[in-house]
């Protein structure tokens, strides 16, 4: 019996000579990642474990993104702690103004290569599967352990294979692929499994779009969402990293816990209604819903591709008077590129506010919380009750075309009605 | 590992980590200071039912979402001894095991429990007793059992650090 890509990568990173779903193995990792929320908590746990020594300082990355820029004293203390610890241990540290949202940042900076194992103190560490890596979101105690030993315990997951086919429609993006998957299997349907994306339709997906797909794997309960590396991956990594890598693919006789299909030819822009990402409907079904805030940003859809889509939508138009539009480039580099391309100008002219790269409005942390009774449509990944401020606010999830179209219309609309 | 206590029911399926511990309080890193915000987005009155020996009874896909360990840390700080549920989200489950807080999958027991029920759990055998009625839970895999018995990942790391390096 053959192995899936996830099983192969795990096999390459542990001492077992065979792996199968459910088996527990210790897995070595190439990158250990944490942020201003999970990092300081991990350092506390490390102290309790009885050491401050790390396994390999060249494999550790700390990013200030959740509460950066600090919203209050308590947040400032966490960021200070993260920075001081990083300097003291000689590990990579990205401060505000030099980094961005951790997942987009470390991919952009060449930390992630196909076939590698990434662990992060953040559930959206699953994003790194977009480059063909095995990536796992962990809590702070796990991260403490990984910082010391360079490994983590892992119950080998099963694999759900998703075959993507067909031609993408005008306003359909990677976000719609993953929303379609989540609606098919449900918020817990991918638990103890990874998602693996294959098929001719994956060829039309850029790395930016794959990021969104892998990123929301956790919204189906999955550990990660893997795209086996192809020419798109190789082109993206060219000049970005010196690390040697080899593409890993599933064996033809690998066994899957489930196989699904997503056909672009039958896919339209989708929206996940409050308060669970599995509540997915076509945009037409929620058209007319008044919108008070639009957020284009976060680790799923704050890429240059998303900013381009949003700018295209609002070009020469005004954000509706009922609506606020917040745009958060995921990294400092994306921010600069958006300035160079004139996207920032287009967005600001339309009435959008542009934020420095941060997690802020995505998790209700700061800058962009919602009042009771307000509706927001965002390109983020979670619409849980209270996720973005008041528990009596409603968050709808969509791609950047749909979100930006709602900013212009002041209500949810089919983007085709805003530009043709 | 054997755990027992009085049942506190957390109703609903797909209870996410944001309602269990809202993001705005993530800038706290001391478990004692996390206590006042547990269940904040779900039902703050649940906190009034917590005592030094509580068994939380939860539904399907409990703890979905974030990796925030604030949720099980705050539970432990409140004296939660065990969580019994129909099913658990992956990161929440492993966070519990790492903190030596048994997370036991037993839908039947979760159904049978009422507020205040006396519950005892033997993680090794999977025997769950709710007010004298016996149920069998999904067995806890040997690795996780060992983790629970050793007192979680912190003790595990202490032990590993005390061994001569190979
Ligand atoms: S942008 Fe949102 S989902 Fe992504 S890492 Fe930050 S808080 Fe988490």
> Model-level pTM greater than 0.80?
yes
Per the CB < 8 A criterion, the answer to whether A248 and A228 are in contact is: yes
Distance A298 CA to ligand 1 centre (A): 6
Tens digits of residue pLDDT in B108-123: 999 999 999 999 999 9
A313/A234 same-domain check: no
Examine the domain organization and report whether A236 and A128 are in the same domain. yes
Q: Does B152 touch chain A (CB under 8 A)?
A: yes
All residues of chain B having their beta carbon less than 8 Å from the beta carbon of residue A40 are 29
Q: Which domain holds residue A156?
A: 5-262
Distance from CA of B20 to the nearest CA of A (A): 10
Instruction: Give the orientation angle of helix B142-150 with respect to helix B90-98, to 10 degrees.
Output: 40
**Per-residue DSSP letter, B28:** -
CA nearest to A382, candidates A284, A273, A290, A225: A273
Question: Which pLDDT value is given to residue B124?
Answer: 95
pLDDT, chain A, mean? 98
Q: Which residue of A has its CA nearest to B66?
A: A123
pLDDT score for B166 = 59
Determine the residue of A35, A138, A295, A298 to mutate for testing ligand 1's pocket, defined as the one with the most ligand atoms within 8 A of the Cβ atom. A298
Cβ–Cβ below 8 Å for A121 and B67? yes
Q: What is the CB neighbour count within 10 angstroms for residue B17?
A: 28
Looking at the CA of residue A365, tell me the nearest atom of ligand 1.
Answer: 7
A251 plus A304 within the same structural domain: no
Residues of chain B above pLDDT 90, percent? 96
Of the candidates B69, B65, B56, which has an alpha carbon nearest to the alpha carbon of residue B89?
Answer: B65
Residue A209: HSE in the Cβ half-sphere, 13 Å Cα cutoff: 22
Q: Are residues A63 and A181 in the same domain?
A: yes
Instruction: Write the Ramachandran bin of A166: left for phi over 0, alpha for psi from -120 to 50, otherwise beta.
Output: left
Query: A340 falls in which pLDDT band (50, 70, 90)?
Result: very high
Considering the domain architecture, whether residues A202 and A142 belong to the same structural domain is answered as yes
CA dihedral A184, A189, A195, A201 (to 10 degrees): 0
Q: Scanning every residue of chain B, which has its alpha carbon at the shortest distance from the alpha carbon of A147?
A: B157
Same domain for A241 and A286? no
DSSP secondary-structure letter at B99? T
- Evaluate whether A145 touches A41 at the Cβ level (below 8 Å): no
**Residue from A104, A121, A363 to probe ligand 1 pocket by mutation (most atoms less than 8 Å from CB):** A363
Residue B76: pLDDT over 80: yes
Contacts for A255 with CB less than 8 Å, ≥ 6 apart: A1, A2, A4
**Each residue's pLDDT tens digit, A10-46:** 999 999 999 999 999 999 999 999 999 999 999 999 9
**Best interface-test mutation with B: which of A65, A119, A141 has the largest number of B CBs within 10 A?**
A141
- Could you say which of A240, A262, A284 is where a domain stops? A262
Residues of A in contact with B94 (CB under 8 A): 138-139, 142
Q: Which residues does residue A162 pair with via DSSP β-bridges, in sequence order? A: A197, A260
pLDDT at A55 over 70: yes
Single residue among A262, A284, A318 that ends a domain in this structure: A262
Calculate how far, in angstroms, residue A342's C-alpha sits from the geometric centre of ligand 1: 26
Asked if B28's CB is within 8 angstroms of A141's CB, the reply is: no
Same domain for A122 and A103: yes
Nearest to B34 by CA among A48, A147, A37: A37
Nearest to B41 among A78, A187, A391 (CB): A391
pLDDT category at B1 given cuts 50, 70, 90 is confident
Q: How far is the CA of A362 from the centre of ligand 1 (A)?
A: 6
**Ligand 1 touching residue A359 (CB < 6 A):** yes
B141 CB neighbours in chain A (<8 A) are 22, 24, 155
pLDDT, residue A278, reads 98
Please tell me whether residues A210 and A349 are part of one structural domain.
Answer: no
Ligand 1 pocket, A381 CB below 6 A?
yes
pLDDT above 70 covers what percent of chain A?
100
Q: pLDDT tens digits for A86-133?
A: 999 999 999 999 999 999 999 999 999 999 999 999 999 999 999 999
CATH number of the domain enclosing A305 = 3.30.499.10
Strands B133-136 and B127-130 come out as antiparallel
Ligand 1 centre distance from Cα of residue A215 (Å): 10
Mean pLDDT of A262-289: 98
Q: Taking 70 as the threshold, does the pLDDT of residue B50 lie above it?
A: yes
Going by CA atoms, what residue is nearest to atom 2 of ligand 1? A362
Three-class SS string for chain A?
CECCHHHHHHHHCCCCCCCCCCCEEEEECCEEEEECCHHHHHHHHHHHHCCCCCCCHHHEEEECCCCCCCCCHHHHHHHHHHHHHHHHHCCEEECCCCCECHHHHHHHCCCCCCCCEEEECCHHHHHHHHHCCEEEECCHHHHHHHHHHCEEEEECCEEEEEEEECCCCCCCCHHHHHHHHHHHHCCCCCCCEEEEEECHHHHHCCHHHHHHHHHHHHHHCCCCEECCCCHHHHHHHCCCCCCCCCCCCCCCCECCCEEEEEEHHHCCCEEECCCCCCCEEEHHHHCCCECCEEEECHHHHCCHHHHHHHHHHHCCCCCCCCCEEEECCCEHHHHHHHHHCCHHHHHHHHCCEECCCCCHHHCCCCCCCECCCCEEEECCCCCCCCCCECCCCEEEECCHHHHHHHHHHCECCCHHHCCC
For B16, nearest residue in chain A (alpha carbons) = A384
**CA–CA separation, B98 and A73 (whole Å):** 30
| Residues A45 and A156 placed together within one structural domain of the fold | yes
Asked whether residue A275 falls in the same domain as residue A258, the answer is no
**Complex ipTM above 0.95?**
yes
Find the closest chain B residue to A221 by CA distance. B89
Q: How does the average pLDDT of chain B come out, rounded?
A: 96
Q: Is the pLDDT of residue B85 over 90?
A: yes
pLDDT for A180 beyond 90: yes
The answer to whether A75 contacts B152, with C-beta atoms less than 8 Å apart, is no
Residues A248 and A309 in one domain: no
Helix A207-215 vs helix A174-185: angle between axes, to the nearest 10 degrees? 20
Option in A78, A123, A221 nearest B29 (CB): A78
Number of domains in chain A: 2
Q: Give the Å distance between the CA of A381 and the centre of ligand 1.
A: 8
Boundary (domain end) residue, out of A211, A235, A262: A262
Question: For the CA atoms of chain B, what is the radius of gyration?
Answer: 15
Q: Could you tell me if residue B22 is left (phi over 0), alpha (psi between -120 and 50 degrees) or otherwise beta? A: beta
Tokens of B31: 């478990």
Q: Which of B19, B99, B156 sits opposite A386 (nearest CB)?
A: B19
Q: Say if residue A246 is in the same domain as residue A286.
A: no
Cβ contact B90:A221 at 8 Å: yes
| pLDDT (mean) for A202-210 | 98
Question: Is residue A223 lining ligand 1, measured as CB closer than 6 Å?
Answer: no
What span, in angstroms and rounded, lies between the C-alpha atoms of A169 and A151? 42
Please report the domains of chain B, with CATH numbers, ordered by start residue.
2-162 (3.20.19.10)
Binned at pLDDT 50, 70 and 90, residue A1 comes out as confident
Specify the pairing of strand B118-122 against strand B127-130: antiparallel
Point out the ligand 1 atom lying closest to the alpha carbon of residue B23.
7
A153 CB neighbours in chain B (<8 A) are 143, 147
Helix axis angle, A343-350 to A332-340, nearest 10°: 80
CA-based torsion, B92, B98, B99, B102: positive or negative: positive
Mean pLDDT in residue range A194-218: 98
* A403 has pLDDT over 80: yes
């Amino acid at each position: 019996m053959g192995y899936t890509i996830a099983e192969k990568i795990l096999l390459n990173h542990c001492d077992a000579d065979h792996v199968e779903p459910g088996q527990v193995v210790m897995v070595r990792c190439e990158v250990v990642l944490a942020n201003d929320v999970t990092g300081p908590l991990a350092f506390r746990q490390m102290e309790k474990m009885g050491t401050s020594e790390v396994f390999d300082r060249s494999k550790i990355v700390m990013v200030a993104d959740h509460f950066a820029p600090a919203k209050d004293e308590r947040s400032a203390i966490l960021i200070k702690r993260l920075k001081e610890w990083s300097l003291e241990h000689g590990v990579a540290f990205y401060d505000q103004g030099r980094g961005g949202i951790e997942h987009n940042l470390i991919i952009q900076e060449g930390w992630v290569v196909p076939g590698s194992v990434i662990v992060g103190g953040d559930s959206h560490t699953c994003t790194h599967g977009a480059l063909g890596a095995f990536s796992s979101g962990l809590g702070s105690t796990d991260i403490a352990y990984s910082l010391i030993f360079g490994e983590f315990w892992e119950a080998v997951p099963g694999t759900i294979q998703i075959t993507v086919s067909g031609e993408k429609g005008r306003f359909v993006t990677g976000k719609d692929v993953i929303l379609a998957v989540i609606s098919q299997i449900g918020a817990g349907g991918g638990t103890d499994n990874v998602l693996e994306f294959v098929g001719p339709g994956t060829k039309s997906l850029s790395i930016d779009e794959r990021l969104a797909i892998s990123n929301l794997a956790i919204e189906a309960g999955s550990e990660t969402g893997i795209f086996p590396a192809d020419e798109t991956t190789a082109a993206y990594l060219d000049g970005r990293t010196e690390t040697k890598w080899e593409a890993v693919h599933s064996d033809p006789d690998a066994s899957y816990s489930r196989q699904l299909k997503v056909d672009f030819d039958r896919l339209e822009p989708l929206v996940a209604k409050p308060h669970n990402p599995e509540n997915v409907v076509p945009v037409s079904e929620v058209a007319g819903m008044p919108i008070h805030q639009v957020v284009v940003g976060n680790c799923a859809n704050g890429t240059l591709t998303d900013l381009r889509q949003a700018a295209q939508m609002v070009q020469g138009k005004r954000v509706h008077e009922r609506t606020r539009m917040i745009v958060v480039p995921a990294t400092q580099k994306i921010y600069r590129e958006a300035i160079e391309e004139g996207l920032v100008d287009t967005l600001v002219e339309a009435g959008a506010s542009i934020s420095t790269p941060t997690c802020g409005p995505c998790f209700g942390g700061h800058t962009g919380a919602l009042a009771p009774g307000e509706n927001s449509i965002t390109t983020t990944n979670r619409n849980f009750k209270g996720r973005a401020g008041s528990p009596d606010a409603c968050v709808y999830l969509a791609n950047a075309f749909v979100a930006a179209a709602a900013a212009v219309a002041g209500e949810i609309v089919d983007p085709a009605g805003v530009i043709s | 590992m054997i755990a027992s206590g009085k049942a506190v029911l957390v109703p609903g399926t797909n209870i996410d980590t944001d309602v269990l511990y809202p993001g705005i309080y993530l800038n706290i890193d001391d478990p004692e200071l996390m206590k006042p915000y547990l269940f904040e987005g779900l039902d703050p009155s649940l906190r009034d039912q917590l005592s030094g020996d509580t068994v939380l009874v939860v539904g399907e896909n409990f703890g979905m979402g974030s990796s925030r360990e604030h949720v099980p840390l705050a539970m432990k700080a409140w004296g939660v001894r065990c969580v019994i549920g129909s099913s658990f989200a992956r990161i929440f489950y492993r966070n519990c095991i790492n903190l030596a807080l048994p997370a036991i999958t037993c839908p039947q027991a979760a159904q049978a429990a009422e507020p205040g029920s006396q519950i005892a759990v033997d993680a090794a055998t999977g025997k769950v007793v709710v007010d004298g009625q016996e149920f069998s839970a999904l067995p806890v895999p040997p690795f996780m059992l060992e983790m629970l018995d050793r007192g979680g990942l912190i003790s595990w790391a202490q032990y590993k650090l005390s061994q001569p390096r190979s």
